[in-house]
Structure 1
């Protein structure tokens, strides 16, 4: 029997590797490229009538220069992280500029700041280089326009990214400062996330509310850019706050602490046996196979649904629902380790076992979700089906 794999959706166009780091151009980048041509093309045509329709080509070149600037910014992050042994999975260039995706690593406040600020520093270097070229070289009009754009674009990217709020690089400074002061990275992430939200409020006031109060006519292009950038920052800041809150709850995510009492019985046991060993049917029963591994669950309500006269003759497998293969965890499992395991195993219930493999509890996926998010999950209308 052959296995068919589900096609993996490509997130963009692979551009190859730079210094060993895979670079992907997301399809969404073409949206910002088109936006740049549509908005900036007419501006160039008005300010430089000699360009004619080629102003739109120059505008597209501007979009490409922005792409290069962002790529250098992200490469600076990746290469600085490489110094500390942080593995980089890939760089993605997209609608929002780009991001560097790292594999798991152990960070520290100081290293986090250095990796974050490497990006803006690279843009300031590019801006300085372009300024030197403009100051010492005589170029044609188009080349001069593009070099000038390249200089200002990198300068503004650098300045913008050092603003003190996540998801901007400057937010890592806030995160690291709070982290260093409190010893909690989670508190630092939450503080930096709120810093990001305050930046959005400041941008909205300066570019939208202030001109409106002054009675100025709004510039459609500026309004669109402000809304676009503000939306991106707000979503990133909110995600950072949620991530920080998740980290603060992570210590409370333990198999032993979140499970309910349960007892284990062999599949050959009867409902009468289960009632006797489960405190009169007040706790769940985990059905174990011949090898002793958990295979199913009988909840108290299912035990009590069997008439007393039939309890001795009814096997517990008749009122059980199956556990997913391998759905059992050691009672000492906790934090990211526990979450990582549960994410790989299907099902909504997991047996909890001690060092000897004896069943001590039953862990529900909903309990873990509540511990992580602080919110109870929505009720699931579908009850577990009986499979035996």
Structure 2
């Protein structure tokens, strides 16, 4: 896919504090890119820089090879959708949709056809004469989306558009956004703090922390091959179990079992590593027979402390020789009991190892060496 937008070494500073720090990335034509990270990581600031609502401190923004860094928001032909619908309460749905068109002095003769098209797309036809106070939260969000779509923008910028909706409406509007994207094929940058939302919607995910880009890639890539400890702990629900363990001469002991680190000079010098294993990759042999090869698995004896029923699974909390951990067990009607002793195992292929010095993924480092 061709690059639609390119950010080159973008930085944004507020009163001595760096909100976005030397960030570079490309957004492909028609791509749905999701920005995730904890509060204050810089994702909303980055969206505002793209929109032109904030000016970059350093770096530049290129659209189809043209430098648009200094352009005003109205000159960029980007549409932004906020978590606050920002609808005019005294105007009808149709007047809200056409407000931007009127402000841009677009010919009235073009309004009807475009309003009808977007109303049909978002199922707003019967609501055009209503005012926002008479609409549900999901309907209001669809009106905000219609106002953005009718501009026929080059890029959609969405800042947590689902955060004000309840769980059922979140799912409904999320599905609507994805259907809309498949129809319009317009490049979209979507900000959320909900990494599960990101995993289900994104073509690619960009993970930010403290203004720095930690990793960018397809959801499955970030899940299976996190670049560092931060991404490993942020991506995935339930969160990855992470243990800080001593190591020596490129070997870490997991209980009484030796695990070799990737054979690099950096790994051989480490005295500590972080070992990660996802809850869904841990088997409980007291629940069902472990189908894996025992020679390729690590084993732990643990004691259950408490359990959370998630529906199809239990999320079990246990104490092990490595420390507190969580694992998933299928709900087959036999609820686990507190203080129950369990035998746990997981494959060597499913563990993640991170440097105790720089927190980078040791397997990725060895592949890039």
Q: Tell me which structure has the larger Cα radius of gyration.
A: 1
Q: TM-score, normalised by structure 2?
A: 0.27
Q: Which structure carries more helix by proportion?
A: 1
Q: TM-score, normalised by structure 1?
A: 0.26
Q: Which structure carries more strand by proportion?
A: 2
